[in-house]
Amino acid sequence: MKGFRVLTFCALFSSSVFGTAVAGSIDSPGAPSAGSGMYTLQNLYDYLINGAPLSVQENFQEPVSGPAPTMKTTKEVGDAVQTLFEACDTDPMDVRPGKKFFCTLPCMWGVRTGGTPVPACTATPTP
């Protein structure tokens, strides 16, 4: 029984040391490069709702203050986009043949070409 405890302790200890050794360095591989930034939720919201151009800051800037709610939340962005999509009622037969548009029908979601017959579909709510 004592040997089993010692063996278990050694196995746990060696796995924790091995896990720490394999985790890698937490040091940054280098300074941020130009154009390596990401869009903020506010940028995405403004683009989707108002058509404002997306922009990424050229140079890294430290935050001027600590964490605080300064932008839209993912729920606000999602709700705003859903409201816009629910207002769309165009189907491919309403659009000139050959012209592309974004269809919001559940069975034809995405970029479609006008003049395409609409398949029979029923809305299936997602859980």
In a shared domain, residues 41 and 77: yes
Q: Is the pLDDT of residue 19 over 70?
A: no
Give tens-digit pLDDT for 93-123: 888 888 998 887 777 788 888 887 776 766 5
In a domain, 78, yes or no: yes
* Residues 47 and 78 reside in one and the same domain: yes
Mean pLDDT of the chain: 76
Which residues, 6+ apart, have CB-to-CB distance to 74 below 8 Å?
A: 41
State the residue range of the domain holding 110: 89-117
Q: What is the pTM of this model?
A: 0.50
| Class of residue 103 by CB neighbours under 10 A (exposed 0-12, middle 13-18, buried 19+) | buried
pLDDT of residue 89: 78
Angle at which helix 41-50 crosses helix 74-86, to 10 degrees, equals 10
Residues 50 and 76 in one domain: yes
Distance spanning both ends of the chain, measured CA to CA: 51
Clarify whether residues 97 and 77 are in a common domain: no
Structure tokens at 36: 């390596």
Q: What is the mean pLDDT of residues 58-64?
A: 69
How many distinct structural domains can be found in the chain? 2
pLDDT at 22: 64
45 burial level (CB within 10 Å; 0-12, 13-18, 19+): buried
